[in-house]
Amino acid sequence: MSTYLTFRILKGFFVVVLISILTFVIMRLMPGDPVFLLLGDGQISITQEQIDAIRAKWGLDRPLIEQYFVWAGNLLRGDFGESLIRAGVPVRYMIAEAIPVTLTLNAFALALALVVALPMGIAAAVRRNSPIDYVTNVVSAFGIATPNFWLALMLIVIFALQLGWLPPFGLRTWQGYVLPVLVMATEEMAILMRITRGAILELLPQDFVRTARSKGMPDRRVLWRHVVSNALLPVVTVVGFRVAFILSGTIVVETVFALPGIGRLFVDSVLRLDYQVVQSLVVVFAVLVVVVNLLTDLVYALVDPRIRMS
Amino acid sequence: MSPKSKEPFFARRLSRRRFMKHSVYTAAGVFVGSQGLSFAQGSQGGTITWMGHQEVAGLGPNDIGADVQASVIFNVLNPLIHVNHLTDTEMVLARSVTLSDDQLAYTFELEQGVLFHDGSEFTAEDVKYTYETYAEAGNTVASRFTGMREVEVVDKYTAVVHMDSINAAFLRQAGEVPIVPRAYHESVGVDGFRTAPIGTGAFQVESWSPASATVLSAFADHFRGAPLVDTIRLDVVPEASVRTIALLTGEADATVWPVSVEDNLDFMENPDFRVVITNWNSPRHIPLNTRLPQLSDKRVRQAMMFALDRQRIVDELEAGFGTVATSHLAPHNPYYTSDVKQYPYDPEQARAVLEEAGWTVGSDGIREKDGMRLSFTCTTISGDQTRRPMAELAQIFLREVGVEMLLAEAPVASILQGMREGTLEASLFNWTMGSTTDPNPAGTIGTGGGDNFTGFSNPEMDALIAEGLSVVDPEARKPIYERTQQLYAEEMPALLLHYNQGALVFSNELQGLPEEISNSLPIFYRMNEYSKG
């Protein structure tokens, strides 16, 4: 087990280093100079001397290799550097400020999605072609097909504008979380519902289920002990897989609801060529995905004794 | 005039005529009442909330270039003078300013008894420190101090700015840079200051979350009296439709960045709101890379102007909020003139001019000359849903006379660099040419100017610019700048589309707004004057 873990950690480290190099190169290949964005969209006259001075201040005048090693060396010491756009603000503060927002949203959304999707998926599979199955199919089709941008705006119109129950944006109170969580949960719910239903439908005709039934085991016990526990494997896979989409999946929701999360920070930083922030965010997420993938594999072992490590 | 005058904030305005005569600007000016302002003394409590679309990346003098940031910063930090909502110069921390006969020394008499938020007193030393610190290369406001040599502290309340060369734009450009407290700023540095600023403004920073909200609380010892509300708050709401809903639900009282044109029309019919419509400082325009052979002939550029049905762009894409542009300066600019070459929509005239210039229609309908196609690419900002449709409509108009304008998108940083370096062929802007603080022709239309995105180079224009910047008297400078506009309209290095009008929405809950407004952003600089109804 320890050999396996060591191998996976080393492999993960290698992946993160590669990603950091790729991100650095891609960001520098992007045309444009962040200096121009500091000048108020060209409203202030600027001379080449001033541009050079600003570039020198940020170390952008140094060779690219040197820039990479300076950044990577600082990163290994836990120093993410300073934002170019929010000059004076350490990148780690920016990430520390944004991550809780995104993680909270995702945690609540995932919890809500699981609470709703698992029972509905199971019920739909067990009562295939019944009204509950049809409802589940319609709900999951709606969740997958509906653009979250549109859904978010509709919910704002209904619950903020028409009913006045919830704020249209922001996180000033706990009510601010309700609509964004609902929007994010809708898609996840739909996916998990389909996967749960499909997995159970695949397991129900299996021999071990028939055997369990023939032994006189009650249907409910067969379902929970033998079917659902096995059906959880693909669900765990998808949940782990979704972590990689935290960054991209929350961008729209964070923009519409004006939430200062990691998705918005990432997009804004890319558009403004805020190199330090983008590079640091990608590395943080690369580490996160590597760790979660490792944890997912370990959870497999817990869920499925067949692949448990000896 | 007592330094602690009972006249509230910005009561003193700078007279251009007096300025013309290089006379001492007295603190007399225009009383608030004459500007249609009305408010009661003493705090009435409450919170004013307004919204912007972009994060507030910093709160220091270097950050005043972006509108959303400026709307916050000028409530925390005060400059010596402001260009106000009527596009007039107003005294703020300066009581008066005198220009020497040789036009190389500005003497600022300062307000007395003004306190910074940390309790220290504002003096001429702070002016000297601020100007000399932020004039150093590496600061984004450094070019506002072009021509400045040093600041002399004559006494506690008098500072003299000595110039190496005459810079007619100095007062309205440098004068707007907010003053920082020397002792505190020295201890935290430029970058530290922009994250935790201390100023003489009517509000002090309570909390700052760049991507979500900045909250300011009233500074009771403000030199023009305590603000009428306890707190003001800027919320960052990127999505225009959500800003609209927030206004309708009462979540916010105003927006410093416009909502959609369609929503503006609805708000104009809603009795609970006031919609302030003002011209933007610079027309929407398509800067052309005049260094390209196919765009270097002014007849080609003139023909394209005739080919564009600009009124249709205003009607269809701006819902009528705008007027066809004739000059690169906006009509509310004090130097504006309409006495320039006109380009009415006339496709036949466009075709005739192109034929005269030797561009004949090729087999694919696109004109050619010496084997070169009359084709170029206009790069708009990625995801810009406002300007991209304008480029698409312009593309159709140009195609009708045999000019091919291809479309592309890129991030704004790429466009600014590409146009500046001449690697892009065209774009679609509505900035750069007409700052209300003062036109900056050297940077935008002068040869080699840092923001000369068209690469335009004309000896007569350069001579006019140099002459204009050496004449401080606005009346004497006006004919010079009128000639620059005539020359620009003749050469047309950018296709001028229209003066678009910004419509900002204010809830009627917000009371005390000026009656007359020609320049909308400074409305947000004076939040201390407003109350909640």
Cβ of B58 within 8 Å of Cβ of A87? The answer is yes
Q: What is the pLDDT of residues B337-377, one digit of tens each?
A: 999 999 999 999 999 999 999 999 999 999 999 999 999 99
Q: Which residue of B has its CA nearest to A253?
A: B239
- Give contacts of A 103-162 with B, CB under 8 A: 153, 156-157, 160-161
For B86, which DSSP code?
A: T
Neighbour count for residue B349 (Cβ, 10 Å): 17
Q: What does pLDDT average to over chain B? A: 87
Least confident among A285-289, B122-126, B298-302:
A285-289
Q: Which amino acid appears at position A298 of this protein?
A: L
- Give contacts of B 250-269 with A, CB under 8 A: 251
Cβ of B251 within 8 Å of Cβ of A85? The answer is no
Q: Report the gap between the CA of A36 and the closest CA in chain B (Å).
A: 6
Residue B236 has pLDDT above 90, yes or no: yes
Residue A304 has pLDDT above 80, yes or no: no
Q: Report the gap between the CA of B185 and the closest CA in chain A (Å).
A: 13
**In this structure, are residues B13 and B91 in contact, taking their beta carbons and an 8 Å threshold?**
yes
Pairwise pLDDT comparison (A249 vs A119), residue with the higher score: A119
ipTM surpassing 0.85: no
What would the two tokens of residue B153 be? 């502290």
Q: What is the pLDDT of residues A181-230, one digit of tens each?
A: 999 999 889 999 999 999 999 888 888 888 888 888 888 888 888 888 88
- Give contacts of A 219-278 with B, CB under 8 A: 255-260, 264-265, 268, 270-273
- What is the structure's pLDDT at B66? 84
Indicate the helix (H) or strand (E) that contains A4: helix A2-29
Which residue in the set B138, B140, B191 is minimally distant from A39, CB to CB?
A: B140
**In this structure, are residues A253 and A152 in contact, taking their beta carbons and an 8 Å threshold?**
yes
- What is the structure's pLDDT at A248? 66
Cβ of B140 within 8 Å of Cβ of A40? The answer is yes
Q: What are phi and psi of B493, to 5 degrees?
A: -70, -20
B62 touches A: beta carbon within 8 Å: yes
Q: Which residues does chain A have within 8 Å of residue B192's beta carbon, measured at their own beta carbons?
A: 88
- What is the structure's pLDDT at A285? 84
- What is the structure's pLDDT at B434? 56
Q: Distances from the Cα of B55 to the Cαs of A99, A218, B214, B471, in angstroms?
A: 17, 60, 10, 39
Q: Which residues does chain A have within 8 Å of residue B212's beta carbon, measured at their own beta carbons?
A: 170-171, 258-260
Q: Residue B235's pLDDT band (boundaries 50, 70, 90)?
A: very high
Burial class (CB in 10 A: 0-12, 13-18, 19+), B6: exposed
B331 touches A: beta carbon within 8 Å: no
User: What is the arithmetic mean of pLDDT over A57-64?
Assistant: 82
Q: Which residue of B has its CA nearest to A263?
A: B211
Cβ of B411 within 8 Å of Cβ of A255? The answer is no
Torsion of CA B111, B117, B119, B125, to 10 degrees: -50
| CA separation for the pair A182, A164 (Å, rounded) | 17
Residue B438 has pLDDT above 90, yes or no: no
Q: Which residues does chain A have within 8 Å of residue B443's beta carbon, measured at their own beta carbons?
A: 45-46
Q: Which residues does chain B have within 8 Å of residue A51's beta carbon, measured at their own beta carbons?
A: 450
| CA separation for the pair B437, B444 (Å, rounded) | 14
B418 touches A: beta carbon within 8 Å: yes
User: What is the arithmetic mean of pLDDT over B490-503?
Assistant: 91
Cβ of A44 within 8 Å of Cβ of B432? The answer is no
Residue B14 has pLDDT above 60, yes or no: no
Burial class (CB in 10 A: 0-12, 13-18, 19+), A25: exposed
Q: Which residues does chain A have within 8 Å of residue B64's beta carbon, measured at their own beta carbons?
A: 40
Q: Which of B38-52, B170-184, B435-449 has the highest mean pLDDT?
A: B170-184
% of chain A at pLDDT higher than 90 = 30
| CA separation for the pair B469, B488 (Å, rounded) | 17
SS3 B382: coil
B50 touches A: beta carbon within 8 Å: no
Residue B178 CB contacts under 8 Å (≥ 6 apart), including other chains: B61, B64, B73, B74, B77, B78, B79, B130, B199
pTM, 2 dp: 0.81
A30 touches B: beta carbon within 8 Å: yes
Task: Identify from B177, B215, B416 which residue to disrupt to test chain A contact, counting A C-beta atoms within 10 A and taking the largest count.
Answer: B416
Which residue in the set B142, B192, B431 is minimally distant from A88, CB to CB?
A: B192
| CA separation for the pair B137, A53 (Å, rounded) | 6
Q: Residue B130's pLDDT band (boundaries 50, 70, 90)?
A: very high
Pairwise pLDDT comparison (B15 vs A99), residue with the higher score: A99
CATH superfamily of A96-309: MetI-like (1.10.3720.10)
| CA separation for the pair B323, B339 (Å, rounded) | 16
Q: Residue B415's pLDDT band (boundaries 50, 70, 90)?
A: confident
Q: Report the gap between the CA of B5 and the closest CA in chain A (Å).
A: 34
Indicate the helix (H) or strand (E) that contains B108: strand B105-110
Closest CA to A41 of B141, B332, B413, B428: B413
| CA separation for the pair B312, B452 (Å, rounded) | 28
| CA separation for the pair B307, B402 (Å, rounded) | 10
- What is the structure's pLDDT at B437? 59
Q: Report the gap between the CA of A20 and the closest CA in chain B (Å).
A: 22
Residue B39 has pLDDT above 50, yes or no: no
Name the maximum alpha-carbon separation found in chain A. 86
Burial class (CB in 10 A: 0-12, 13-18, 19+), B152: middle
- What is the structure's pLDDT at B5? 37
SS3 B215: strand
Cβ of A258 within 8 Å of Cβ of B414? The answer is no
Q: Report the gap between the CA of B412 and the closest CA in chain A (Å).
A: 8
Least confident among A91-100, A295-304, B492-501:
A295-304
Cβ of A45 within 8 Å of Cβ of B442? The answer is yes
B270 touches A: beta carbon within 8 Å: no
Q: What does pLDDT average to over chain A? A: 85
Q: Residue A37's pLDDT band (boundaries 50, 70, 90)?
A: low
**Taken in order B341, B344, B349, B354, is the CA torsion positive or negative?**
positive
Residues carrying CATH 1.10.3720.10, chain A: 96-309
Q: Report the gap between the CA of A279 and the closest CA in chain B (Å).
A: 18
